[in-house]
Amino acid sequence: MRPMPLLASVALATLLTGCPGPSETRAVTIKGSDTMVHVVSTWAETFMRSNPGTEVSVTGGGSGTGIAALINGTTDLAMSSRDMKDEEQKLAGKRSARIERIVVGLDGIVVVVHPDNPVAALTLDQLRQVFNGTLKRWNQVGGPDQPIQVLSRESSSGTYAFFKEHVLKNDDFGPEVRLMPSTAAIVQTTAQDRWSIGYVGLGYAKDPSLKVVPVKADTDATPIEPSVASVTDGSYAIARELLLYAPVDREGVARSFVEFTLSAEGQQLVADTG
């Protein structure tokens, strides 16, 4: 991924036919990516303190859930860690919606294991083979002779879609992979299962109950720790844009909230939350 500035702006406005109805003047609902719940909730709390009488409701459920709700008019804004799929764009067209794609930050996908796991680093190819089920035991990647318990998000997750495309190279996940309903479920299970492995957004990597595994582009490469710096400068291999999808003609609190996320204060909160 080429280096990108951390302070995001509206890098691309993709106009699609269709537009959900506006929310009440002083309230806005936001649904979608579990990866983004933490940073968007932080935005919401700060925004409401600065704008008394406003209400910002943030719920997860996955990028696909948020995009579907936006197209159906049941949320004002959608959080997404992936681009809209062709079928979602077509559905938006049928609903006569006009939706804008807004880049609000960058994120690294962090590979995590239990703190007792001795594996020091993994290559992208090793990760692909672990998650597609080819490699099944830790001694095949430099660890002890123990079975690998692989954890993944469900298919509605934007993180799942990104990981499948960029790490698995569009291979299928292995048949024994456990699909988890949320990032929090991956964090909890990895912290409890000594031989599990999963992936989370960079903001979740600060959890002391997890061990972050550095990633190598290939066998001879230097392992790169995921961080704000390595994601921003493009040296960390598993990184992506984080998005808000919003109606082009948004008004009231929805419009003000989007402007806040792109402000210097809003972008500083992106950096603070990792």
Domains of the chain: 27-105+243-272 (3.40.190.10), 108-232 (3.40.190.10)
- Give the C-alpha separation, 135 to 145, whole Å: 12
Pairing of strands 99-113, 122-123: unpaired
- Give the C-alpha separation, 95 to 138, whole Å: 49
Instruction: Supply the pTM of this predicted model.
Output: 0.73
pLDDT for residue 11 is more than 80: no
Say whether 266 sits in a helix, a strand or coil. Answer: helix
pLDDT for residue 26 is more than 90: no
pLDDT for residue 22 is more than 90: no
Mean pLDDT computed over 139-152: 97
> What's the confidence (pLDDT) of residue 203?
81
Could you report the per-residue pLDDT of 72-123, keeping only the tens digit for each? 999 999 999 999 999 999 999 999 889 999 999 988 999 999 999 999 999 9
> What's the confidence (pLDDT) of residue 7?
35
pLDDT for residue 49 is more than 90: yes
Q: Where are the beta strands (DSSP E) in the chain?
A: 27-32, 55-61, 77-80, 99-113, 122-123, 149-153, 178-180, 196-201, 211-213, 215-216, 239-247
3-state SS track over 95-118: CEECEEEEEEEEEEEEEEECCCCC
> What's the confidence (pLDDT) of residue 91?
95
Bridge partners (DSSP) listed for residue 151: 178
> What's the confidence (pLDDT) of residue 17?
39
pLDDT for residue 231 is more than 80: yes
Confidence tier at 29 by pLDDT (50, 70, 90): very high
For residue 28, what are the contacts with CB-CB under 8 A and spacing of at least 6?
54, 55, 56, 57, 76, 77, 252, 253, 254, 257
Mean pLDDT computed over 145-154: 96
Mean pLDDT computed over 29-50: 95
pLDDT for residue 28 is more than 50: yes
% of the chain beyond a pLDDT of 90: 74
> What's the confidence (pLDDT) of residue 207?
87
